[in-house]
A and B are shown apart, each in its own frame.
Chain A
Amino acid sequence: MSYKDVLVHADHAEGTLHPDFSGLLAAARKIGRPVAVVAASAEHLDNLVEQVKRHPVESLCAVETPAGEQLITSELAALTAALDRLVDGDAEKVGAVLLSSGIKCRELAGRLAVRRNMGLIIDAVGLDLVDGAVIVQQSVLGGQYSVASGVNHGAPVICLRPDSVSADVNSPETVVGCMVTRMGIAVPSDADAVVLSTSEHRVLDGRPELNSAPIVIGGGRGLNSAENFGLVQDLADLMGAAVGASRAAVDAGFCDRSLQVGETGQIIEPELYIAVGISGAIQHRVGMQNAKKIIAINTDANAPIFDIADLGIVGDAFTVVPQLMEALRDRAGATS
Chain B
Amino acid sequence: MQLKNFSISCKINGRTYEENIAPDRTLIEFLRGLGFLSVKQGCDTSNCGLCTVWLDGTPVLSCSMLAARANGRAITTIEGVQEEATAFAGFMAAQGADQCGFCSPGLVMNILAMERELDDPTPEDIKHYLAGNLCRCTGYASQMRAIEAYLAAKTAKTAAATTAAPAAPAEGGA
Do A and B come from the same complex? no
A residues contacting B by CB (< 8 A) are none
